[in-house]
Structure formats: structure tokens, C-alpha cells
Amino acid sequence: MLKALKPMTYATRRLKAGDLFHARTSADERVLIALKRARRAARPATEPEEEDEATQDDGAGDIQQLRAAYRAKTGKRPYHGWDAAALTVKISEADADD
């Protein structure tokens, strides 16, 4: 996320000083910062959320078991971005297909 330092046009948008926008590529971001047209926007401070003790467990063993079960059921490797809930749904869908 970038913040415009002065009025300019970028990606067919007319930006005023202080407007927030996303650069199309990291190369565009570097160029805009080098030309002093924009700077990285400060991220708002967020307070850490308090979690229950049950949710603090990372469940690394559970996810590994679910991935192994998915692979055994479908013969395919699971997508690395799926969490435990998504894997459970995919396994139940594979059970329904059989």
C-alpha cells in the first residue's frame, strides 16, 4: 500500500496528495518511491486478539493427519493453503463421491 506525496496520475487514476493506492508491481512501487511520488503507507496498529486456550494450539499434528487422509482417499496431494476445516470438507466430499 502506497501513499501519494503529491498530485499525480497512476494506473488511469487521478490521485491527490495523501491518497492511498496499490502499485501494480513491485517494480512500479520502487520507481514511485525513488521518484518521491509516493511512500509506503504506515500500517494501522492493531491490538493482538486474545485467543482461547483451545485455539492457541497450532494443531500441526492434526493438519498432517488430515493431509495424509486426503492423499490416501484421493491419491492426490492436498493444496498447501487448505486449513483443517477445508481439508475436512474435501475429505467428506471425496467420501460422498465414492
- d(CA 98, CA 88) in angstroms, rounded, equals 16
Give the domain ranges of the chain.
2-40, 59-97
Residue range 63-86: mean pLDDT, rounded? 90
- Give the predicted TM-score (pTM) of the model: 0.44
CB atoms within 10 A of CB 43: 7
| Residues 84, 55 contacting (CB under 8 angstroms) | no
Residue range 83-95: mean pLDDT, rounded? 89
Label the pairing between strands 8-10 and 20-21.
Answer: unpaired
Where in 1-98 does DSSP place strands (E)?
Answer: 2-4, 8-10, 13-15, 20-21, 38-40
pLDDT of residue 95: 84
Residue 98 has pLDDT above 80, yes or no: no
Three-state helix/strand/coil letters over 16-41: CCCCEECCCCHHHHHHHHHCCCEEEC
List pLDDT tens digits, range 10-69.
989 999 999 999 999 999 999 999 999 999 988 766 666 665 555 555 566 788 999 999
